[in-house]
Amino acid sequence: MEQTFILIKPDGVQRALVGEIISRFEKKGFFLRGLKFTKADRPTIEKHYKNSIAKPYFDMLVDYMISSPVVAMVWEGKGVIAGGRKLIGSTDPLATMPGTIRGDFSIDIGRKIQHGNVIHGSDSLEEAKDEIALWFPEEERIVNWHSSLQPWIYE
């Protein structure tokens, strides 16, 4: 089974969307393997967004991401990376479809560059592995358990 990393950003936490977002992943048939409600520190966010370090908005992005708690999660399932990205929707709230998390809850990415889009999801297997390792170090093990629903969802 594939795993992905999902992060509910400060605006998603502040707007009380955590339960709704978790519910959408569960209803899709994905299994929660790790969950952490935390106030991220600057080094973690800088590592997480290392590909944006040269962007002019990088410092604003880091400041925003450490301004309020976030919810870090690991989800597992067949095609969970691509499926999770479809649940999340496009980065631009004006371009994403209703029914997606961003389509239903994002308002404006102009708020400090992509900070009004509620959620982050890994876009590749390699990125998922890196992000899971960053947010869930070995001493904070990912829980490997088998839901009684699994045979009803997967053959």
Sign (positive/negative) of CA torsion 57, 59, 63, 65? positive
Highest mean pLDDT, choosing among 53-62, 111-120, 140-149: 53-62
CB 34 within 8 A of CB 136: yes
The C-alpha atoms of residue 69 and residue 9 are separated, in whole angstroms, by: 8
The C-alpha atoms of residue 101 and residue 43 are separated, in whole angstroms, by: 28
CB-based burial, 98-122: b 16+ in 10 Å, e otherwise = eebbbbbbbeebeeebbbbbbbbbb
What the block records as the tokens of 139 is 């001493």
CB 129 within 8 A of CB 5: no
Percent of the chain's residues with pLDDT above 90? 71
| CATH number of the domain encompassing residue 97 | 3.30.70.141
If one counts the domains in the chain, the total is: 1
What the block records as the tokens of 126 is 């390699």
Q: What is the pTM of this model?
A: 0.91
Among candidate residues 48, 115, 120, 146, the one labeled active-site is 120
The predicted model gives 21-49 an average pLDDT of 97
Q: What is the pLDDT of residues 2-31, one digit of tens each?
A: 999 999 999 999 999 999 999 999 999 999
| pLDDT given for residue 94 in this prediction | 76
What the block records as the tokens of 44 is 């973690």
Bridge partners, residue 76, by sequence: 3, 31
| pLDDT given for residue 92 in this prediction | 78
| pLDDT given for residue 5 in this prediction | 98
Domain span at residue 38 reads 2-153
Q: Grade residue 155 by pLDDT with cuts at 50, 70 and 90.
A: confident
Q: Grade residue 112 by pLDDT with cuts at 50, 70 and 90.
A: very low
| pLDDT given for residue 138 in this prediction | 86
| pLDDT given for residue 110 in this prediction | 56
48 is catalytic: no
Sign (positive/negative) of CA torsion 115, 126, 48, 70? positive
Q: What is the pLDDT of residues 62-98, one digit of tens each?
A: 999 999 999 999 999 999 999 999 999 988 777 888 8
The predicted model gives 104-125 an average pLDDT of 77
